[in-house]
Each structure stands twice: as C-alpha cells, then as structure tokens.
Structure 1
Amino acid sequence: MNAVPRVLIIGYGEMGHAMEHLLAGRCDLQVWTRRPVPGHEPVDLAVAVSRATVILYCIPVTPLADVAQRVLPALLPESISLSIAKGLDGQGRPAARVLHDVYAGAHDFGVLYGPMISEEIRAGRRAFAQLAGSKPAVSDVASQLFADTGLSLQTSPDMTGISWASVLKNVYAMLFGAADELGLGDNVRGYLVVGCMDEMRTLVATMGGKSASAQGLAGLGDLVTTATSEASHHHALGRLLVRKQLDNISGEGVHTLAMLDRYQLVDFSGYPLLQLVDGIIREPVDIGARLLATIDSSTGS
C-alpha cells in the first residue's frame, strides 16, 4: 500500500468511532451511515465506495447483506473489504459467509475479531485482533493500514474458525455476568472459562473451523474481555437476567441463540453451558440454582 489508502467506514456506532480514532490522519477517510453524522459532511454511498480502496464494515451482521449488495456494484476491482461484525444474520450466517455469498468471488474481503473494546481504543489503550482474509493480499493491506495504530493484528488462516469463535463468545459471556451478579466468586469464574472453552472448541470444529481457533484472540482472548469487563454489553445482560430486568434483553448473543435454534445448527443438549444460557433467556428464573446444578452435573459433584 504505497499510495495513501482511501478508507470508507460504513457505520458509526461504537466500533465505527473506534476505527475513525485509529485511522484519522493516516489515510483519506470518509464515514457513511444511514443517518447524518454530526461533524461529518454527508456522503453519497455509491460515490464513496467507487473511490475507496478499503471498505470497513462497522455495522451489525443483520443488515450486512443488504448494505453489501448496495456496495457491490461500485467497488473498485482492487479494493478490499473488512468486517468487524460479530453474530449471525437472519439466515444464520456469520459476516464472513455473508460477504462470501454477496461478493461471489469477485472481490477480496476479510474479518477482524478480538479484544477491541471501543472505549479503550478511543482512550488510547491497546487492542488486539485476529485477521483472516479471502486471499493473502487482504492481510498485507490490513497490516499496513493498522500498523502503529495501537491495534495489533495476528493473521489466521481459519476464517470460519475465528468467525464462529467470535460469534459464540458473546453467548457464553452472559453466563459470567450472571455469575458475577449472583456473587458466585472467582472460582466459579475460573470453572466457566474452562467449561465454555471446551464447548467452544467443539462447536467451532462442528461449524467447519479448526478447534484451535477457539483458543486465539477471536475466541478465548475476546471471551475473557467480554466476560469480565463491566463495559461489556453481554456481561451486563447476564446481570440483568439475574435481576429480572427483562425489558431490553437483546444483543448479538441473544440473536445468535435464536438463529442456532431456528436453523437447527446445533444440538443444544450436547453443550450444557450453551443450553443453560438459552434456557435462562427463555425462562429467567432460579438462575443461580440452575447454574450450579449444571456445574455439578458436568463435574460429577
């Protein structure tokens, strides 16, 4: 990437802000969102796409297919697209699969997953991610783009594996929030890390990835961050379930469980902790007793 990269950030939520913070002043940067952004000139999507060498999708995975379809006709042949969207869309697809289906081999793309809390990035703290691309050139471009920004990238050959690891960690993170709200202690948290990772490794492999990918930044690294940070939405959801504050129990992890069930992607009975999260969302009663019973059953106590 010898010329100054022309980057278009699509979406201006928490992560859109974070990417702007990292890249401002380092490239020719534009931001597009469905609604006007204070302090930014209005951007025509097709025009902005037609000049961008890098597209950064900072939107949820649910609208990703529709937005990517709008982007597709204007993409430069040499451009690459990167997505940080976690979760599953309405067809049960992670972001990598969505871009694979929409781009149909015509354009290169990649995904970025790992411990990247937006507030910490914008405060100048370090962040970390795994990057997997449709071709090696994607990793080269992304590595140059984020060099010396404070976002450290590791390349993974397993796009499917890191995608599913990032999807699943949001589901399991809710258990940690529930355990913390119940005051079950650090020992239970330690057990949950091991138990959740056992299930994640098997699930990642079942979905076509490599089980080891669950142990990288996109899986274990982001699970620890999401499951223990008070700034984490999914940790907070676990707390809200215990408090029976149920008016706004929504998020990528909740949607993921619904999609896994709708498309029968997983037999929940084979994964006790996954089944427990699904059960307490459907019926948030006696959460502490059910959590401890699941642990006792798994450990033979």
Structure 2
Amino acid sequence: MSATSADAGTAAKIAVVGAGAFGTALATVLAAPESEILLLGRSAERMAAMAASRENPRLPGVLLPDRVMPTADAGRLGDCTIILTVVPSSAQAETAALILPHLGPAAALVMCAKGLDRETGEPITVKLAAEAPRHSLHVLSGPGFAADIARGLPTAMTLASGSMAEAEAMAAQLSRRAFRLYASQDPVGVQISGALKNVLAIAAGIVIGAGLGESARAALIARGLAELTRFVVASGGLPETASGLAGLGDLVLTATSEQSRNYRFGLALGRGESPESLLAPGRPLVEGAAAAQISDRAAKARGVTMPVTEAVASIVGGRIDVKSAVDQLLSRPLRIESA
C-alpha cells in the first residue's frame, strides 16, 4: 500500500486526532494554503469554543490558522488521506475503535504516541496493525515541544515506516519549511526510543531534584542512552535509531528542560514528593511512569540489563526510595564503557 492515498500532485487532506497541546501544534504547523487540517477532539463543546476563538487554552497566544477546522465529529474523517493520532499511548485502542469505522480504505495512519503495550511491552503499532490491516502505518517521533512547533520554531523529527520509500513519501507530505522530517525504516526503534527517553527524563529529573549535580545528569544521559540502545536492538530495532533524532535528540531535549512533563515529575521525586501524590487522579499524565514499569518487565523477559530503567520503575512503583536507588546504582560493579 502506498504511503498516502493522495494522488500525485494533489495535496493530502490531513486530520489530527487529539486536540491537546501537541496535536494542536501539529495541526498549526501543517496548515498551509493547499492543505486543509481537521483537528478532532472528544468534547463538542470544547471544539466549538476553539473554532470560535481560534485558540487552544493549552497553547496560549497561538492562533489557529484559517485552514485548521476544530471538530468533534469523527464522521468527517472519511475524506482525509492522512490521519495523525496524537493521544496518549494508553488511549490508542479506544481512539482506534472510534476512528477506524470512519476512515476511507486507503487512509494512512501516522501514530504520534510514545509508549509500549502494557501487556506485551511491544511497540503499540503491533496491535494497531492487526486492527487496521487496510491502512499503512507510520510513526512520528523526535525532539519537539508543542510550543516551539506551534510558533514555527525550527524542529526536526523522525518519520518511520515499514520501508524507506514509504517513509520518504510520507515525510515529504508532512514536512514544512521549519518542520523537517527525516525518513527512517525502523518504526520499532523509533517507538521504543520515544518511550524510553521519557523514563530516562524522569531519572534525569530525579538526579537534579536530589541535588546530585549536572555532571551526574550528563553521566546518566550517556549510560541511559546505552541501555536504551540495548533494548532497541533486542527488540529488533536498529542501533543507529537510538543515536538519532528519536533517541539521542529527544532524550537530550526531554532530560534537560522543565518544559518536559516527565523531567518535572522526576524533579519532584528527587525533591522528596511521593509518586502516589504526583500520580494521583487529576494530576498531569506522565507517560514515562507507565513506560518505566512496562519496559522494566520487558527488559527482564528479554535478558536486557537496564539498571537506570529498573531504578525508575522501582521508585515509581514505591518499592524503593530515591536515596536507596542512587546508592544501588553507585555500588554497581565497574564495566567497560561499551558494555
């Protein structure tokens, strides 16, 4: 199946499913005179308000371009040729059930979530592929904060598909002047990198929150990248993906900026707040907290050593406190750097 269903020379009609900050940012940057963008959200009242005000309260100061059409009507997806799903990984199954009955037979799906299946530890597109066999699947991930993207600041991310030809075609459809997409044929590695960098961002936040210093954070990022790479390769991905935009690029961004929800969560843990209070109902969703538990179990099942991920999983799960986790990491036997 082709990467998109648009005929040669015809602009694709794009839909962004998920009207949070990141989904709205993508709709904003993708909007162009020749591209109509449907922005689908769950709340009819909220989407009507966005249509009237041309603004999403989660992105204050950013006006929606005229070509962006907020809606809560999934029935309008029928003539869209590219569908970007921008919802948390835990909501992917529910979202697929909502939108798949409305899609045209050749619509392409671009998954923008960063997570792993809770039961299997596999990339979430594995299950999505079984549910949507008619549709080509692609993955968009990499270093990009919603506010930067929405304001047109230069951003580079990875677009991964099952073949390089598909990836290049889709990247060409979705790239804009300041929003550059680099093609990859490693959707597995891109998804795993996107999920694990959230876990490592929590760890980096813990380091700074606990007062361990910038040098310790730099060491953690480097050793965390090493274990991320091991997990990518053990899962069938490519090692170069881990050192690219979806891996190292996104890790550096997420593990060093307080714009990152996962990093802020780690900071709070390092300063002594409990994971129970930080993850209580009504608090912001932290994707890395769930990803830590899932990837830790999957790594053990595959025989992959991931001490940083294991420490984060233990802290988030309430099985160990921050000081004890740090002591355990510092007491590990010395190894050669490439191990």
**TM over 0.5, yes or no?**
yes
How many angstroms apart in 1 are the aligned matches of 2:98 and 2:163? 23
How many angstroms apart in 2 are the aligned matches of 1:52 and 1:199? 39
Secondary structure of the residue that 2:226 maps to in structure 1? helix
Give aligned-pair identity as a percent. Answer: 27
- Verify: 1:113 aligned to 2:167, yes or no: no
- Verify: 1:273 aligned to 2:308, yes or no: yes
Secondary structure of the residue that 2:105 maps to in structure 1? coil
Q: What does 1:10-89 correspond to in 2, within 5 Å?
A: 10-26=17-33, 27-36=35-44, 37=47, 38-40=49-51, 42-46=71-75, 48-89=76-117
Contact 1:87 1:94 in 2 (8 A): yes
Q: Residue 274 of structure 1 aligns to which amino acid in structure 2? A: T
How many angstroms apart in 1 are the aligned matches of 2:331 and 2:293? 26
Distance 1:286 1:90, change over 3 A: closer
Aligned to 1:9: 16
How many angstroms apart in 2 are the aligned matches of 1:183 and 1:128? 32
Secondary structure of the residue that 2:38 maps to in structure 1? strand
How many angstroms apart in 1 are the aligned matches of 2:298 and 2:307? 16
Measure how far apart 1:148 and its partner are: 2.8
Gaps of at least 5 residues in structure 2 are 1-7, 52-69, 280-284
Distance 1:195 1:284, change over 3 A: same
Deviations 1:237-295, CA, capped at 9 Å, x for gaps: 1111123333123521111233346xx42218832111111122223865245325413
How many angstroms apart in 2 are the aligned matches of 1:95 and 1:244? 33
Contact 1:56 1:83 in 2 (8 A): yes
Measure how far apart 1:174 and its partner are: 0.7
Deviations 1:52-72, CA, capped at 9 Å, x for gaps: 011010111212122223322
Match of 2:127 among 79, 98, 104: 98
Contact 2:209 2:269 in 1 (8 A): no
Aligned to 1:228: 256
User: Across the two proteins, how many residue pairs are aligned to each other?
Assistant: 296
How many angstroms apart in 1 are the aligned matches of 2:286 and 2:127? 19
How many angstroms apart in 2 are the aligned matches of 1:115 and 1:282? 27
Contact 1:88 1:252 in 2 (8 A): no
Q: How large is the Cα RMSD of the aligned pairs?
A: 2.3
Give the TM-score normalised by structure 2.
0.80
Contact 1:197 1:220 in 2 (8 A): yes
Secondary structure of the residue that 1:270 maps to in structure 2? coil
Deviations 1:103-138, CA, capped at 9 Å, x for gaps: 12x111200110011111123212121111135554
How many angstroms apart in 1 are the aligned matches of 2:236 and 2:250? 20
How many angstroms apart in 1 are the aligned matches of 2:329 and 2:181? 36
How many angstroms apart in 2 are the aligned matches of 1:189 and 1:108? 39
- Verify: 1:291 aligned to 2:326, yes or no: yes
Give the TM-score normalised by structure 1.
0.89
Q: What does 1:147-296 correspond to in 2, within 5 Å?
A: 147-246=175-274, 247-249=277-279, 250-260=285-295, 264-267=297-300, 270-283=305-318, 286-288=321-323, 290-296=325-331
How many angstroms apart in 2 are the aligned matches of 1:255 and 1:62? 9
Distance 1:270 1:93, change over 3 A: closer
Secondary structure of the residue that 1:155 maps to in structure 2? strand
How many angstroms apart in 1 are the aligned matches of 2:331 and 2:28? 46
Which segment is superposed worse, 16-25 or 73-82? 73-82
Measure how far apart 1:4 and its partner are: 2.6
More helix per residue:
1
Distance 1:212 1:149, change over 3 A: same
